[in-house]
Amino acid sequence: MTTLLLIGIGTGNPDHVTGQAIKALNGADLILIPRKGEAKSDLADLRRQILDRVLTAPVPVADYDVPQRTDQDDYLGAVNDWHDAIAKVWADTITAHRPDAQTVALMVWGDPSLYDSTLRIAARLPALAVKVIPGITSLQALTAAHAIPLNTLAAPVTITTGRNLRDHGWPEGATTLAVMLDKGGAFTVLPPDTLIWWGAYVGMTEETLIHGPLAQVQDQILATRARLRAEHGWIMDIYLLRRGGDV
C-alpha cells in the first residue's frame, strides 16, 4: 500500500521545516506540489525553495492544479464536492507520475491537524495509508512574532473561524479567541475595547504585525490587509483576540 505523507512545513519560512519533515521529504518516492493559479504562484515557488534547501538527493516532483471551489449557498456541500475533486486529482497525479510509489509526500502549510482539510481529503482515498508529520502552526508563529502567551493565566483558548465569529459573535465562555480563515474583517462585530494581535504572512519575509484595541487599529488592519492582498495576489493572516482588561 502507498503511504501518503502529510508534512507540515510551517508558514513559508524554510527554518520552520523540522528535522522529521526533512527526513520524510528525502525518503519520498514522489512529492506533490499544488498550483493555485498565477496569482498564488508564490505558494508553489516557496515549496520548491524549501525542497531546494532540504533535499540531499533528487526526488521526483509532480505539480497538479487545484480545482476551484464553487460559490454556492450550501457552503458545506460546496466544500465536500471540492474535496472530492481534489482527492481525484491527487489519485490521478500519482497514477500518472509514479503508480509504483511506496511513499508520496504532500507539503502542508502550518500543520495538517489545525483548520486544514488535507486529512479529510486523504480519507477519501482508502487505498492510501496516511502518516502525518506535524509542523509549526500559524498560531504558534503569531504568538511568537508578537511575543505573547497564547492563554491568559489558567484560562482556556478557543480556536474558531472568521465565518463563525461573523455569524455568531464572541463564543460564550471564551477568554482568548484565535481566529483563522477570515476573509477579512470579522472582528468588526466585536466591541471596540477588544484587544487584537493580528499578523499576515507570519514567519515569512513579508510578515506584517499590528496589535492594540480594535478602536485604534481596526481600520489600519483592514487597510493593510487590502493593500497586501493587492500586492501579493493572496494573503494568509491570523489573529488573537481578548476582551479588554484580560491579561
Q: What does DSSP say about strands 195-200 and 176-180: parallel, antiparallel, or unpaired?
A: unpaired
Closest CA to 220 of 209, 204, 234: 209
Predicted structure pTM score: 0.86
In the structure grid, which three cell numbers stand for residue 63, read together?
505539480
Check if the beta carbon of residue 168 is closer than 8 Å to that of residue 231.
Answer: no
Q: Which residue segments constitute the domains of the chain, with CATH numbers given?
A: 2-136 (3.40.1010.10), 139-242 (3.30.950.10)
Could you count the other beta carbons within 10 Å of the beta carbon of residue 204? 17
Q: What does DSSP say about strands 157-161 and 176-180: parallel, antiparallel, or unpaired?
A: parallel
Q: Please give the chain's pLDDT, 247 residues, in tens.
A: 899 999 999 887 888 899 999 999 999 999 999 987 665 567 788 899 999 999 999 999 999 999 988 877 777 888 899 999 999 999 999 999 999 999 999 999 888 888 889 999 999 999 999 999 999 999 999 999 999 999 998 899 999 999 999 999 999 989 999 999 999 999 999 999 999 999 999 988 899 999 999 999 999 999 999 999 999 888 999 999 998 665 5
